[in-house]
Amino acid sequence: MPIKSISAATRRRFLKGAAAAAGAAVFIPAPFAIGQAAKVKLGVLLPYSGTYAALGHNITDAMILAINEAGGTLGGRPVEYVKVDSEADPSKAAANTNKLVVGEKVDFLTGPVHSGVAMAMAKIVREEGTITVVSNAGADAVTREMCAANIFRTSFSNWQTCFPMGPEMLKRGHKRVVSITWNYAAGQEMIGAFRESFAANGGTIVKEMLVPFPNVEFQALLTEIASLKPDAVFSFFAGGGAVKFVKDYAAAGLKTSIPLFGSGFLTDGTLPAQGAAAEGIVTTLHYADSLDNPVNKKFREAFKKATNRDADVYAVQGYDTGKLLMHGMTAVKGDTGAKKEIMAAMRGATLDSPRGKFTFSKAQNPVQDIYLREVKNGDNVVIGVAHKALADPARGCTLA
């Protein structure tokens, strides 16, 4: 056994050395070449069709906007975007990732929206070493058990978006609550984070309700909530499910007697469809459209001008992905062979994001403010900071 591991280590060292030498040979001329510098290949694995297509487009367009605002280059080299439609399909994730990493040999990889896709992607890039920036998927494990020196995240961990809500609800006097979400990984991680901070501070979760994903028939559970009469309800749904849950909750007459709280995704991008039913819902998230700071104002204007669409939290994450890549590439003046230096620069970056300034944790997940938002007149209005500079606990991550 020891002999085997020694030989493996030497072989790996040899390969590494060879790769570094090859990398140097390829890249020494590039930045200094006369005329056109070689293009940086940026792989983008996002959904461009299906339910999440709108998210994929917003992330991509905002990322390109960030890079174009700085002259359209990464460290002085022009960028070639290699886009692959992930279809938000975990079963195609490994093949799609390999297409970009092994087939196209991209210098950087960004995406995806779906956590299942992110897990498959993380598994591959951990082996291949491609510098990867996760621009949405919130699965906790990406910056916990799966964390790696070459994996960064500019979005959030599911844990982060819900953890601050526990103390906040207790502060409002809600000691007995019911939680409700879909029975799938993201839902359980979100509710788990809420439970952690709520129970630790003396709250009681009367019942944790799990709805089979993606079932949207809530009537039976609403009746149960009405009979349990908790002080409040904490929930996580997204997209069409969020719209239906919020509307059903109001239509069942529960809204007036049992206030509804939730992860920010409950009311983000869904408010026009939810209408009056969403008024007064309090949520936590790392961004709000109406966030009052100059970077956000400028970004929203620029995004609107570039795409004719309104920016959202996904666009912000895409924008910051672009900024983070630029930060890394500027530090090495475009030398993609200097991976270590790029990663070190990215790790130490402080991004002046539309969501406010943030840095990266040891596990390379944002250390960011989580805002408290309340729906007022069809808008998620920021009513305070629920948790300043919150870092994911990164349990199980060995990066130090």
Q: Does 350 bind other proteins (CB under 8 A)?
A: no
Q: Which residue's CB is nearer to other proteins, number 229 or number 376?
A: 229
By the rule CB under 8 A, 239 interacts with other proteins: yes
Task: Lay out the sheet containing 131-134: strands in order across.
Answer: 73-74, 77-85, 40-46, 108-111, 131-134, 151-153
Q: Looking at residues 49 to 108 of the shown chain, list those that interact with other proteins (rule: CB under 8 A).
A: 49-51, 53-54
Single residue of 41, 83, 175, 244 touching other proteins by CB under 8 A: 244
Which residue number, 202 or 275, has a Cβ lying nearer to other proteins?
Answer: 275
Min. distance of Cβ 179 from other proteins in angstroms?
12
Number of residues binding to other proteins, judged by CB under 8 A: 43
Write the binding mask 169 to 188 for other proteins: x where contact by CB under 8 A, - elsewhere: --------------x-----
Nearer to other proteins, 51 or 98 (CB): 51
Nearer to other proteins, 84 or 222 (CB): 222
Residues 15-54 that bind other proteins (CB under 8 A): 49-51, 53-54
Which of 20, 94, 206, 226 touches other proteins by CB under 8 A? 226
Out of 12, 251, 304, 398, the only residue in the binding site for other proteins (CB under 8 A) is: 251
Q: Which of 229, 297, 376, 388 binds other proteins (CB under 8 A)?
A: 229
Asked if residue 258 binds other proteins (CB under 8 A), the reply is: yes
Query: C-beta of 111: minimal distance to other proteins in Å?
Result: 17
Q: Which of residues 102-161 bind other proteins (CB under 8 A)?
A: none
For residue 212, state whether it binds other proteins (rule: CB under 8 A): yes
Select the span of 89-97, 116-124, 212-220, 379-387 touching other proteins (CB under 8 A): 212-220
| Nearer of residues 253 and 348 to other proteins, judged by Cβ | 253
Q: Which is nearer to other proteins, 56 or 111 (CB)?
A: 56
In angstroms, what is the minimal distance from the CB of 223 to other proteins?
5
Whether the bond into 2 is cis, omega within 30 of 0: no
The only residue of 68, 69, 80, 213 in contact with other proteins, by rule CB under 8 A: 213
Binding residue for other proteins, selected from 17, 253, 348, 378, defined by CB under 8 A: 253
- For residue 252, the minimal CB distance to other proteins (Å) is 6
Cα(57)–Cα(262) distance, integer angstroms:
26
The single residue among 2, 35, 36, 257 that binds other proteins, judged by CB under 8 A, is 257
In SS3 terms, the chain reads as CHHHHHHHHHHHHHHHHHHHHHHHHHHCHHHHCCCCCCCEEEEEEECCCCCCHHHHHHHHHHHHHHHHHCCCEECCEEEEEEEEECCCCHHHHHHHHHHHHHHCCCCEEEECCCHHHHHHHHHHHHHHCCEEEECCCCCHHHHCCCCCCCEEECCCCHHHHHCCHHHHHHHCCCCEEEEEEECCHHHHHHHHHHHHHHHHCCCEEEEEEEECCCCCCCHHHHHHHHHHCCCEEEEECCHHHHHHHHHHHHHCCCCCCCCEEEEHHHCCCCHHHHHHHHCCCEEEECCCCCCCCHHHHHHHHHHHHHHCCCCCHHHHHHHHHHHHHHHHHHHCCCCCCCHHHHHHHHHCCCEEECCEEEEECCCCCEEEEEEEEEEECCEEEEEEEEEEEECCCCCCCCCC
275 belongs to the binding site for other proteins (CB under 8 A): yes
Nearer to other proteins among residue 57 and residue 144 (C-beta): 57
Where do contacts with other proteins occur on this chain (CB under 8 A)? 49-51, 53-54, 183, 209-217, 219-224, 226-227, 229, 239-240, 242-244, 247-248, 251-254, 257-258, 269-270, 272-275
